[in-house]
Amino acid sequence: MPALLKEEIINVEQIAPGIFKMVIFSPYTAENAKPGQFVNIKCKEGLDAYLRRPISICEINRDEKTITIVFQVKGKGTKFLSEKKTGDIIDMIAPLGWGTFSLEPVENAVIVGGGIGIFPLYELSRSLKSKCSDITVILGFRNKELTVMEKEFESAASRLLIATDDGSYGVRGFTTDILEDILKEGKKDMIYACGPLPMLKKVARIAEKYGVNCEISLEERMGCGIGACLVCACKTKYGDDWEHSHVCYNGPVFNSREVIFDD
Amino acid sequence: MIDMSVNIAGLKMKNPVIAASGTFGFGGQFLPFMDLNKLGGISVKGLTLAPRKGNKSPRIAETPGGILNSVGLQNPGVESFIKDEIPWLKGYDTAIIANVAGNTVEDYCKMAEIINSVDEVSAIEVNVSCPNVKEGGVSFGVSACLIEEVTSKMRRLYKKTLIVKLTPNVTSIVETAKAAEAGGADCVSLINTLLGMAVDIHTKRPILANNTGGLSGPCVKPVAVRMVSEVYRNVKIPVIGMGGISSGEDAVEFLLAGASAVMVGTANLVEPDACVKVEEGIERYLEKYGYKSIGDIVGKLELY
């Protein structure tokens, strides 16, 4: 169950240009959140940046009773959020999203993340570590400067592969090319992905081609975050027909076979 | 002891705060955040005869002090509402208002007939003002003749409180309010959203996939208060006011301007317990000025 919470910020730090990591003391969220879920934050009281901003949970620490979010400053709301300081109180609804990553134990899992889509995959990878014998994580960034959380993912995966668009770090190219190479190497049981829509679309196609079960975390312009306003619609299969599901409520994680990508 | 209850043309509610249609679903999503028993009523997500898939995403754009939306009446259809939602919703002590929209006069009439036999529904709110669907909705709402026709035909089929929800996207809202009154409406509710547009200057495309959408939120409140005040002074039937209400003070503006009850919409998206806060705020205002009931302040605005 989500709750309306006022929680204290434990730490804020900039980890790359425009990318901030924030640790929030939130016993309720830490206790109840699942990998793939998000929080909906009122970044500033009042009318400026009126709507809450949905931000995925990057790490859940039950012992410390904290959660960590990592976000990129993209507009007014995230700018206000980045200006918050240690000790400030944050107004958030959490944890949100009923569609979360499945954590069934499998032999070999592959996690594919692109850009700011990598953040919810960190908690996923941590949670899978004890359940999967092999976890390959493939992360894609625009360039070396924007490459973040490498050490963290290294400790949460069996193998970490990094790609950058310009080749300034790791392999030059796309995460999806690496994914296909890995699937050619040997059988994988599960693919998890989060990132830009073109990447997810390609991951879904590759998963289908190689017959691997695949879960993807979607993003859409959101309103309430709790499934009431129905704005964050995405097309999903419904028998022989299709319907509009909602990213905040039915997702954000969907099985890639359910999702219909418009061309 | 302050009496917060209201009786609007037979629609009895424990307080004057109603969750506005389209911002509250059927109420279920709000259970973790508030006690539905504290609501005067819930105007449920706009219903149509057949299920509707709604418009393409993006369906929302944030604008200064508000939002534009173009959901396009996505809903499971009136029969599914009766079968799946009423059974649990009736367990709460709050008025259920069925908001209905149609493509044709016949659609509206069929829904009036269907809902007339559902005891748990206390009122119908006729949505002739949705700006986001091509077929019906607002094409009825901008024509006084059509409003009168739809209202009078539904009036014959529906025995309980019939509310007509008006669009602000007209030259004279007094004229459309009078048409609803002439058609036999028990009450008018206003305002629905203002038609608007937001542009992404980098892609040179509208933000909404529907190009246009309905503007709501605190930014529309002055327009809404003005319209409520005008309509109140020109019709005899009660008025339900809405448009940007997010606090008790906001609601009191509407009550003073002539609203007998208020609806809280966009604020629910930001503060899921907004309706309760509005109700408490109204009560504090009444207490502060020594009023005994809601009726004591309705229409008490003194114009210059």
Is A223–B53 a contact, with Cβ atoms under 8 angstroms apart? no
Q: Which residues of A touch B (CB under 8 A)?
A: 1-4, 42, 47, 49-52, 93, 220-224, 226-234, 242-244, 249, 262
**Do the Cβ atoms of B217 and A49 come within 8 Å?**
no
Q: pLDDT tens digit string along B51-78? A: 999 999 999 999 999 999 999 999 999 9
Residue that the structure tokens 């504290």 belong to = B38
Concatenated DSSP letters of A135-180 = EEEEEEESSGGG---HHHHHHH-SEEEEEESSSSSSEES-HHHHHH
CA B237 to chain A, closest CA, distance in angstroms equals 30
Q: Residue A76's closest chain B neighbor by CA?
A: B62
Among A221, A224, A242, whose Cβ lies nearest the Cβ of B57?
A: A221
How many CA within 13 A on the CB side of residue A14? 12
Lookup: tokens for B11? 């629609």
CA neighbor of B248 nearest in space, from B2, B29, B84, B53 = B2
Contacts of B272 in chain A (CB under 8 A): 4, 93, 224, 226
**Partner residue opposite B272 with nearest CB, options A4, A242, A244:** A4
Tell me the three state secondary structure of residue B156. Answer: helix
Distance in Å, alpha carbon of B106 to nearest chain A alpha carbon: 26
- Residue in B25, B56, B65 closest to A228 by CB: B25
The pLDDT assigned to B130 comes to 67
Mean pLDDT of the B89-101 span: 97
pLDDT level of residue B93 (50, 70, 90 thresholds): very high
**What superfamily does domain A3-96 belong to in CATH?**
Translation factors (2.40.30.10)
Q: Within 13 A of B27's CA, how many CA atoms are on the CB side?
A: 30
CATH dotted code for A108-217: 3.40.50.80
Among B7-11, B86-90, B142-146, B252-256, the range scoring the smallest mean pLDDT is B142-146
Alpha-carbon distance values, B112 to B155, B160, B164, B167, B259 (Å): 8, 10, 13, 20, 25
Radius of gyration of chain A, Cα coordinates, nearest whole angstrom = 18
The residue in chain A having the minimum alpha-carbon distance to the alpha carbon of residue B27 is A228
Which residues on chain B are in Cβ contact (under 8 Å) with A232?
Answer: 57, 59-60
Catalytically active residues of B, by annotation? 130
Structure tokens at A233: 């619609």
Distance from CA of A52 to the nearest CA of B (A): 6
The phi and psi torsions of B69 (rounded to 5 degrees) equal -130, 150
Exposure string for B6-16, b = 16+ CB within 10 A, e = fewer: bebeebebbbb
In the 8-state DSSP scheme, what is residue A125?
A: H
Gap from A50 CA to chain B (nearest CA, Å): 6
What is the CATH number that goes with domain B6-55+73-196+216-296?
3.20.20.70
Helix (H) or strand (E) holding A128: helix A119-128
Phi/psi at B96 (5° precision): -100, 120
Residue B160, C-beta contacts closer than 8 angstroms, at least 6 positions apart: B10, B11, B116, B121, B122, B123, B124
Half-sphere exposure of B185 (CA within 13 A, CB side): 30
For the stretch B216-263, pLDDT in tens is: 999 999 999 999 999 999 999 999 999 999 999 999 999 999 999 999
Cβ <8 Å between B273 and A51: no
Task: Report the Cα–Cα distance between both ends of chain A, in Å, rounded.
Answer: 35
What ipTM does this complex have? 0.93
**Binning pLDDT at 50, 70 and 90, where does residue B103 land?**
confident
Instruction: Give B117's contacts (C-beta < 8 A, 6+ positions apart).
Output: none
Of residues B248, B158, B151, B142, the one with CA closest to residue B192: B142
| B251 phi-psi bin (left φ>0, alpha ψ -120 to 50, beta other) | alpha
Query: What ranges do the domains of chain A cover?
Result: 3-96, 108-217
**Nearest-CA residue of chain A relative to B273?**
A4
